[in-house]
Structure 1
Amino acid sequence: MITPSYSVLIIEDEKNILDFMTKALKANNYKVFTAASGNAGLALITSQCPDVVLLDLGLPDIDGNEIISSVRQWTSCPIIVVSARSSERDKVTALDLGADDYITKPFGTPELLARIRASLRHSNRMESSGPLYIHPYQCHGLIIDFEKRMISLHGKPVHLTPVEYKIVAFLARNSGKVMTYSAIMSNIWGPYTDSNNRILRVNMANIRRKLELNPAQPEYIFTEVGVGYRMKEDEYEAG
């Protein structure tokens, strides 16, 4: 069976970074399109319908956030921001506008490939009856069985409250991707929940006490300070 070649559009005006990403992706069997400006990138998104978009925010003609807003009006195609802007505000803004993930320059090939895999996995799970959606999450002895709503750690059951389970399951289904505080809270408590994330932080502290050997140095759920949380990528998908 031949593995399908996914297409990736890179919208980036720095030639050395564009060349680096293009070479890395082609070496890993991705079909690559490139654009050095926002308008050219928008035209390619419309004409080529890529499987993933890698988007720089600091483009010469359009701010990358405007592209995210425009694209999200008509497609759920995964968008991974690749930017030198590293502030919490920039990350939260892009993610809340509809970006699926955010990588800060500089970065290495393994991280880039892992983020792309995570975004592709999530986009292919939109059909909840698909096999990718229901397979258990597995990582370093942690197993989450979504169908049975059961969690085990090194073969021993882990008992979470219903809310704690919903948080962990949501992060696991999006493993490898940073999820903003607002995205998590909206998913767990509904769109009209209080914007204060204290209740989420309290639940996360309890979750880490139950899952992590050392909660201060987590192995499974990482904090993106001021932005949200990221769960370690599913070993099943990381291959």
Structure 2
Amino acid sequence: METILVVDDDKEIRELAQIYLKNEGYNVLQARDGDEGLRLLQKNIVDLIVLDIMMPNVDGINMCIKVREYSDIPIIMLSAKTQDMDKIFGLTTGADDYMTKPFNPLELVARIKSQLRRYLKMSNKEAKNESEIEVGGVKINKATHKVTVANKDVKLTPREFSILALLAENSGIVMSPEHIYETIWKEDSFQSENTVMVHIRKIREKIEENPRKPRYIKTVWGVGYKVDKDS
């Protein structure tokens, strides 16, 4: 089930979008401004963002710019403005599509489906070898639970493997220790940071040439961990 993040300071628009998207089987997250939207992105795996331009605090343009620093997930901009320059500006900051308010919710759903199909195809998520993940010199086979680094086999525990695969599948996205714990352990993340940190350290000892200067699993201080796309 894909997750759609709807970021808009208008509660009625957020809830209208949620109704139509949930009817299509999507999971929906809501944010009132770009700041809240960015926080949700740190804690959740999101497949597409519906993003209003005019908002208090962090507006849609600035949120889009920040997201594009580490992710290429589809972004559909919303704006009450109809001038061509606003549309051009939104698209040049990294948005994939643009809709003006008021909009037909059914058209929004159709555009979301179109963007997701294109994104999934471009990111090879529909490819036959979807069980294989490769980041730099690390190859991960989810079907066989085999990991190789520079063509040499590496032995990981099941949980170590699951953490590495989760980060590699979402390369470029920073994941909080809480999100990693809840995803892998399937439990609430109360006081889970040390547990995740220990597992990350053990993975680094096995896959990194120099665990003190990791090439693959990077720490984003105060936020979490990520695997860089171009490791």
- Distance in structure 1 (CA, Å) of the matches to 2:176 and 2:221: 10
Aligned-residue sequence identity (percent) comes to: 25
- Distance in structure 2 (CA, Å) of the matches to 1:161 and 1:115: 31
Are 1:133 and 2:133 counterparts?
Answer: no
Change (3 A) 1:158 1:179: same
Maintained 8 Å contact 1:69/1:98: no
- Distance in structure 2 (CA, Å) of the matches to 1:181 and 1:71: 32
Partner SS for 1:131: coil
2:180 pairs with 170, 177, 184, which one? Answer: 184
Amino acid at match of 2:163: I
Give the CA RMSD over aligned residues. 4.6
Deviations along 1:140-185, one digit per CA (max 9) or x if unpaired, are 2211111111111111111112211111112222223222322211
Alignment-derived partner of residue 171 in structure 2: 175
> After the TM superposition, which residues 86-101 of structure 1 pair with which residues of structure 2 at under 5 Å, given as runs?
91-96=38-43, 99=46
Maintained 8 Å contact 2:208/2:215: yes
Maintained 8 Å contact 2:208/2:214: yes
Maintained 8 Å contact 2:204/2:214: yes
Partner SS for 1:178: coil
Query: For structure 1, which runs of at least 5 residues remain unmatched after alignment?
Result: 1-50
Q: How many residues align?
A: 173
- Distance in structure 2 (CA, Å) of the matches to 1:111 and 1:153: 24
Maintained 8 Å contact 1:178/1:224: yes
Greater gyration radius: 2
Alignment-derived partner of residue 153 in structure 2: 157
- Distance in structure 1 (CA, Å) of the matches to 2:19 and 2:43: 14
Change (3 A) 1:148 1:111: same
Query: For structure 2, which runs of at least 5 residues remain unmatched after alignment?
Result: 50-61, 75-115
Shift of 1:132: 5.2
Shift of 1:215: 2.4
Maintained 8 Å contact 1:137/1:172: yes
Deviations along 1:27-55, one digit per CA (max 9) or x if unpaired, are xxxxxxxxxxxxxxxxxxxxxxxx99797
Shift of 1:138: 1.5
